[in-house]
Chain A
Amino acid sequence: MLQALLLCAAVFAFLGAGDPATRFTEIGHQMMCICGCNQILLECNHVGCPDSDGMRNELMAAVSRGDSDSLVEQSFVQKYGPTVLAAPTMQGFDRAAYIIPPVALILGFGLIVMVVRSWKNRPAPAIADGLRPASGTELEQFRDQARKETDL
């Protein structure tokens, strides 16, 4: 039973991952053309590009050989340098590229919560003599009345 479950999990994990054309497209969109055009390898439309054809052929050869994604990327990095990858990796300091934006979101969210709480705790504005602000049940009654008069 356990073996059957593990097999199912493996099948789902590798579903669609093995097709060479799909892998070529996926890996090719993770790399940059090194001719200096600043385009993704498979999107390089630089007229007369001296490098993209060679790189695409290399990639196709590696994928056809059955090399894993990480092996293909490593071999390209060794040959062309780390700038051949189109995005930072998830190793070492490169992880900071992906960690900092969510940290900024969390800090910003915390700041907003503090601001909203300070707005809630502000003292009520001064009101002219003879008038009193509606609050509590009376305010809810007025809100209900407004809702009924403007909605069905």
Chain B
Amino acid sequence: MVSRESSFLFNNLLFVLLCFTVLWGTWFPKISELVQGNQVTVGAPFYNRVAIPVALLLLILTAVGPLLAWRKTSLESLKRNFMWPTIGAIAVAIFLMLTPQSWGSAFGLKPWRDISNLYSLMAIALAVLVTLTVASEFYRGGRVISKHTGQGMFASMVQLTHRNTRRYGGYIVHFGVAVVIIGFAGSAFNQDKEMEMKTGDQMTIGPYTAICRSSTEDDNPNYFSQWAVLDIYKGGKPLGTMTPERRFYHASRQTSTLPFIRSTLNEDLYFVFEGVNQDNGRPILRAHLNALVMWIWLGVWIMLGGTILALVPNAPAPVRIPAPVRLGQPHPAPVATGD
């Protein structure tokens, strides 16, 4: 039961379950109408409740799967492979709980307060577990090559990867998935705020303060535009100016908003020019503070890099290392690399 084959089976079960959940959620309004005579809405809260635990189980398999042996994995092997990554993941989880929330969105997590904090903490801890298991694979393989060839660790890891690009490219894709999951974990801390702002008015969202310096409008043959000029501060320190805009295109009679985004590793801050109060002409601005969004983009790029690496052909000639005489065999057989 504890083998790579069974981990693949469990992995497929979870993916099929996610697909079934979407199918069930899509059909349920009609089923409800058939059974009880009224439709219900099956929206985001249902999928969050059902799909997030399944996704966390998938993340566990992502960490565990590559370190399981084919056919059978012994308990000793499990302990050897997973002890340090598990200790590292638990240490990171404890660190995130103990740090102050002022450090950023992913810090100061209190899982006993609400379920979204718990899910975020589990997602980040499991992503760290995946990262450490991937790193341990590179480290162990690189150490063996380094010992036999005398090369430095980094060169050994490069050689290791080039010998089996599909396997190690796949590990990099797994690492990319872990980074994306950290980005998703930030959605529990998203904030938004809408406010009518006249010149001089101030809006606070998270650690940021926006002061409306002015708002204006312009009309040209292509579009009519309205925009606001906001000075942004964080902890009293000025960060710059943001100018969210709204346009109305004359030809197509379509309205389009051009949000102004300030993106950092910790969070994305963006302002949207929602409209204008018809009574007093003041702009209505909506601020969004979305945590850890850049991690999603980084993770996707890492996955893309891992995929490209996996498509690179393996190194042409494997290094032949004579093996010692085996039990019962008269001639030593050379050891070649493979999957």
Selected from A32, A94, A97, the residue in CB contact (under 8 A) with B25 is: A97
- Asked if B46 and A97 sit within 8 Å, CB to CB, the answer is yes
- Asked if B9 and A98 sit within 8 Å, CB to CB, the answer is no
Q: Which residues of A contact B (CB under 8 A)?
A: 15-16, 29-30, 32, 40, 42, 45, 47, 81-89, 92-94, 96-98, 100-101, 104-105, 108-109, 112-113, 115-116, 119, 138, 141-142, 145, 149-152
B308 to chain A, nearest CB (A): 28
User: Which chain B residue shows the least CB distance to A92?
Assistant: B36
C-alpha spacing A108/B11, complex, angstroms: 11
- Asked if A83 and B40 sit within 8 Å, CB to CB, the answer is yes
Task: Determine the chain B residues whose CB is within 8 A of the CB of A84 once the complex forms.
Answer: 41
Taking A93-B32, A116-B1, A151-B140 as contacts, is the C-beta distance between A86 and B44 under 8 angstroms? yes
Which of B12-20, B177-185, B233-241, B263-271 is the contact stretch? Answer: B12-20
- Asked if A87 and B49 sit within 8 Å, CB to CB, the answer is yes
- Asked if B24 and A101 sit within 8 Å, CB to CB, the answer is yes
- The B interface is mostly helix, strand or loop, or mixed, namely helix
Taking A15-B113, A92-B36, A101-B20 as contacts, is the C-beta distance between A108 and B13 under 8 angstroms? yes
Within 8 A of A (CB), among B77-130: 113-114
User: Which chain A residue shows the least CB distance to B327?
Assistant: A141
A147 to chain B, nearest CB (A): 8
- Identify the 7 closest CB pairs spanning chains A and B, nearest first: A86-B43, A87-B45, A87-B46, A108-B13, A83-B41, A112-B9, A88-B40
- Asked if A145 and B326 sit within 8 Å, CB to CB, the answer is yes
C-alpha spacing A152/B139, complex, angstroms: 12
Selected from B46, B113, B143, B286, the residue in CB contact (under 8 A) with A152 is: B143
C-alpha spacing A27/B100, complex, angstroms: 27
- Asked if B144 and A152 sit within 8 Å, CB to CB, the answer is yes
- Asked if A108 and B46 sit within 8 Å, CB to CB, the answer is no
Interface centre among B38, B39, B50, B144 (most CB of A within 10 A): B50
Taking A88-B46, A119-B5 as contacts, is the C-beta distance between A112 and B10 under 8 angstroms? yes
Taking A87-B45, A151-B140 as contacts, is the C-beta distance between A101 and B40 under 8 angstroms? no
Taking A86-B44, A93-B32 as contacts, is the C-beta distance between A115 and B9 under 8 angstroms? yes
Task: Determine the chain B residues whose CB is within 8 A of the CB of A151 once the complex forms.
Answer: 140, 144
Sample 18 A-B pairs with CB under 8 A, ordered by A number: A40-B43, A47-B275, A82-B39, A82-B40, A83-B41, A87-B49, A88-B40, A93-B35, A94-B40, A97-B24, A97-B25, A98-B49, A105-B54, A109-B13, A112-B6, A116-B5, A138-B327, A149-B324
Selected from B24, B32, B41, the residue in CB contact (under 8 A) with A32 is: B41
Q: Which residues of B contact A (CB under 8 A)?
A: 1, 5-6, 9-10, 13, 16-17, 20-21, 24-25, 28, 31-32, 35-36, 38-46, 49-50, 54, 113-114, 140, 143-144, 147, 192, 255, 272, 275, 286, 323-324, 326-327, 335
Task: Determine the chain B residues whose CB is within 8 A of the CB of A32 once the complex forms.
Answer: 41, 43
Interface centre among B16, B20, B43, B192 (most CB of A within 10 A): B43
C-alpha spacing A88/B33, complex, angstroms: 12
- Asked if A29 and B45 sit within 8 Å, CB to CB, the answer is yes
Task: Determine the chain A residues whose CB is within 8 A of the CB of B326 once the complex forms.
Answer: 145
Task: Determine the chain A residues whose CB is within 8 A of the CB of B327 once the complex forms.
Answer: 138, 141-142, 145
- A-B contacts besides A87-B45, A88-B46, A152-B143, 15 pairs, CB < 8 Å: A15-B113, A16-B113, A40-B44, A83-B40, A83-B41, A87-B43, A87-B44, A93-B35, A96-B31, A97-B24, A98-B46, A101-B20, A101-B50, A116-B5, A138-B327
Task: Determine the chain B residues whose CB is within 8 A of the CB of A88 once the complex forms.
Answer: 28, 32, 40, 42, 46
User: Which chain A residue shows the least CB distance to B20?
Assistant: A104
C-alpha spacing A113/B6, complex, angstroms: 9
